[in-house]
Amino acid sequence: MPNPFVKLWKYLTASANAKIDEKADPKIQIAQAIESEQQRHQALANQAAAVLGNQRQLEMRLNRQLGEVEKLQASARQALVLADQTRATGDEPKAAEYENAAQAFATQLVAAEQSMEDLKRSHDEALQAAEQARSAVETSRMRLQTTLAERTKLMSQLEQAKMQEHVAASMRQVNELSAPGNTPSLAEVRDKIEARYANALGQAELAQSSVEGRMIEVQKATLDVAGASRLDQIRASMGGETPAVTAGAAPVALDKGESPAAIEEGQTVQQPDAAPVAEPVKRPEGA
């Protein structure tokens, strides 16, 4: 029967891990993954270095043992030569001593050769281990380079994702016409402007259709006609003529006893005679 406490603990752990992964910063997670890969590669490189060091050490020992074997072989051979030479001179005891020395060298030679064979086997195994270590380190190095390249790609994608999220948020705010915080939205400002514009148009329309507006229009028309009549008078006076005031025009000056009704009926009102213009004095001839 499964333990409920263990099951609950596993569930809580998995839930906490899921929440942490959901809230975690992708940059931190990428950095953690890179650091873990670098540590693993460094540990493998250290192990490979130890294997290569052991192989180098065995190689040096094998070279020394090979030199020792060659030295023992030369010593045993030299002892046999000396024994033969001494026996040829008739010194048998001395020759026996040389033979005993040659035997001792031969015994040491056998032991040295056996040790050399053991070292050769160990060296061969170390060579294979070193080759495997080199291959493992190379594979780890390539994987680390791939991971670093992937980090650059992921960081670029992360920045692009952030930019796209920012653009999407901005577009969403524009589409919703809502501004964050206490700032009025564009729609609210537009509604206020449209309301003020509509009120202004309505007030202008009411002013134009009111009695006061009509009176102002009549006064303006009267002033326009009077201005035109006055301009005709000025032009006529410049030419020595007396202009007449037509119907509908406001008189400039009325004689005593004249009524505005006469002007409205179309009667012509004569203006007072203009002042006589002085004739130029002719100078006598010969003056």
CB burial readout 10-23, b (16+ within 10 A) else e: eeeeeeeeeeeeee
Cα dihedral sign, 25-26-29-31: negative
Q: What's the pLDDT band for 270 if we cut at 50, 70, 90?
A: very low
Question: Which residues 6+ apart lie within 8 Å of 246 measured at CB?
Answer: 229, 266
Same structural domain, 156 and 235:
no
59 and 170 together in one domain: yes
Last residue of a domain, one of 116, 148, 176: 176
User: Does 172 reside within a domain?
Assistant: yes
Q: What is the CATH number of the domain that holds 146?
A: 1.10.287
- How many domains is the chain partitioned into structurally? 2
- Residue 182 banded pLDDT, cuts 50, 70, 90: low
Contact, 98 vs 79, CB < 8 A? yes
Does 93 lie in the same domain as 39? yes
pLDDT for the residue numbered 13: 79
Based on the fold, state whether residues 86 and 209 are members of the same structural domain: no
| Span 235-244, pLDDT tens digits | 888 876 554 4
Is residue 114 over pLDDT 70?
yes
DSSP 244: P
Task: Indicate the residue among 146, 176, 206 that finishes a domain.
Answer: 176
pLDDT tops 70 at residue 127: yes
Residues 120 and 165 in one domain: yes
User: Tens of pLDDT along 35-85?
Assistant: 888 899 999 999 999 999 998 999 999 999 999 999 999 999 998 898 888
Report if residue 181 sits inside a domain. no
Same domain, 88 and 121: yes
In terms of domains, do 90 and 48 share one? yes
- Rounded to a whole number of angstroms, the CA Rg of the chain reads 63
Q: Are residues 160 and 196 in the same domain?
A: no
What is the C-alpha to C-alpha distance for residues 275 and 237, in angstroms, rounded to an integer? 11
Domain membership of residue 263 (yes or no) is no
Its domain, for residue 191, covers 186-244
- Any domain includes 196: yes
**Does the pLDDT at position 148 exceed 50?**
yes
Residue 258 lies in a domain: no
Same domain, 171 and 229: no
For 92-105, write each residue's pLDDT tens digit: 888 889 889 989 98
Q: Do residue 223 and residue 162 come from a single domain?
A: no
Q: What percent of the chain has pLDDT over 70?
A: 74
Of the candidates 8, 6, 10, the one whose C-alpha atom is nearest the C-alpha of residue 18 is: 10
**Does 11 fall in a domain?**
no
Instruction: Render pLDDT for 200-241 as a digit per residue (tens, 0 to 9).
Output: 888 877 766 666 667 777 888 888 888 888 888 888 888 765
| 43, two tokens | 């540990």
pLDDT score at 285: 46
Q: How far is 61 from 244, CA to CA, in rounded Å?
A: 145
Q: Yes or no: say if 98 and 86 are a contact pair by the CB < 8 Å rule.
A: yes
Same domain, 35 and 98: yes
Residue 227 belongs to some domain of the structure: yes
**Is 257 part of any domain?**
no
Check whether 166 has a pLDDT greater than 90.
no
Same domain, 68 and 137: yes
Domain-terminating residue out of 131, 147, 176:
176
178 three-state secondary structure? coil
Is the pLDDT at 287 greater than 70, yes or no? Answer: no
Mean pLDDT for the chain overall: 77
User: pLDDT tens across 10-42, in order?
Assistant: 777 777 777 776 666 778 888 888 888 889 999
